[in-house]
Amino acid sequence: MLFKQQALLRQKLLVLGSLAIGSLLYLVARVGSLDRLQPLCPIDGRFGPHGQEEIPLRALQFKRGLLHEFRKGNATKEQIRLHNLVQQLPKAIIIGVRKGGTRALLEMLNLHPAVVKASQEIHFFDNDENYAKGIEWYRKKMPFSYPHQITIEKSPAYFITEEVPERIYKMNSSIKLLIIVREPTTRAISDYTQVLEGKERKNKTYYKFEKLAIDPNTCEVNTKYKAVRTSIYTKHLERWLKYFPIEQFHIVDGDRLITEPLPELQLVEKFLNLPPRISQYNLYFNATRGFYCLRFNIVFNKCLAGSKGRIHPEVDTSVITKLRKFFHPFNQKFYQITGRTFNWP
């Protein structure tokens, strides 16, 4: 009888001990989660060069949680009002170029706690039907953010569409404009590769790159081919300069963003008057994918979609040489206008 009572007592003590340990672990986890959910934290730097007040930035975990729910539409008007969230027009736009690395740039800038990105390409300024819906329609396509944050969207078609510079100027003549470029011939082949993949997915045939890039009648570069025209960066930039001074543009090296992203992102932080917050901790090389992935915190990592970094088809070397010779004078003018030189052949 005594033995049974002792065994029962030991069993109760074990249960109580387990409950105590479980409660302690819960409290530790709870305190940690509450600490992570603090929405605002002070920063040392300042946004602007003119000595504005310090701007509080919310914690990354708070951004990934609460703001994500708002983006999915899982928030009431009262919750939005309570947290002082707004949908703001962008203060900076990645206007191009297509296949220059616009998605990578947007996702990497989103590492910064003062930046909130529009997840989808809005195509407001380059699409007549969307533009006719008005600026309020555009604003409502933007993500929820805190008033002190910068909303950024990207639509690479903006750079080459004639009507866009004037339309953006009418919205905000002082907006900051980001252009990310790659070596023009490489960019053109990447452009072709994306279209080719889409055709193959639909079991459709498509011309070889050489046949599209070179006019068969003249054996010269085919400037009517969109992939070639897009890579003549200076022609498009000159149209933008009719509305915006060069100081409102920042040129990002798309090739360097692939191999050494941090210095490029730090230049963008400076251009946007953001305090430096993106560090090497936020970027890690994924050997399997062959490019850098993003680390937001100890829990949340992100790699770009598998469609990024497509393998390019082999292109006749004589065609590559001809294209590089064609682009060379345009590249030189682009360097002069922007004040940034690239090691393009």
Q: Could you list the residues known to form a binding site for 3'-phosphoadenylyl sulfate, using ranges.
A: 99-103, 182, 190, 292, 308-312
Backbone angles phi, psi at 200, to 5 degrees: -65, -35
Q: Where are the beta strands (DSSP E) in 47-119?
A: 86-87, 92-96, 115-117
- The CA–CA distances, whole Å, from 34 to 37, 38, 58 equal 5, 7, 13
Q: Are 264 and 180 in contact (CB under 8 A)?
A: no
| DSSP type of residue 205 | -
| 99 catalytic per annotation | yes
Nearest to 74 by CA among 170, 144, 162, 160: 144
C-beta neighbour count of 146 within 10 angstroms: 22
Measure CA 260 to chain center: 16
Q: Which of 63, 99, 117, 154 is catalytic?
A: 99
Cα 334 from Cα 238, distance rounded (Å): 9
What is the end-to-end Cα distance of the chain in Å, rounded?
Answer: 93
Separation CA 334–CA 236 (nearest Å): 10
Q: Computed from CA positions of residues 164, 169, 170, 172, in that sequence, does the dihedral angle turn out positive or negative? A: positive
**102 three-class SS:** helix
Cβ atoms of residues 93 and 152 within 8 Å: yes
- Helix 102-109 vs helix 261-271: angle between axes, to the nearest 10 degrees? 70
Residue 229 exposed, middle or buried by CB count within 10 Å (0-12, 13-18, 19+): middle
Catalytic residues: 99
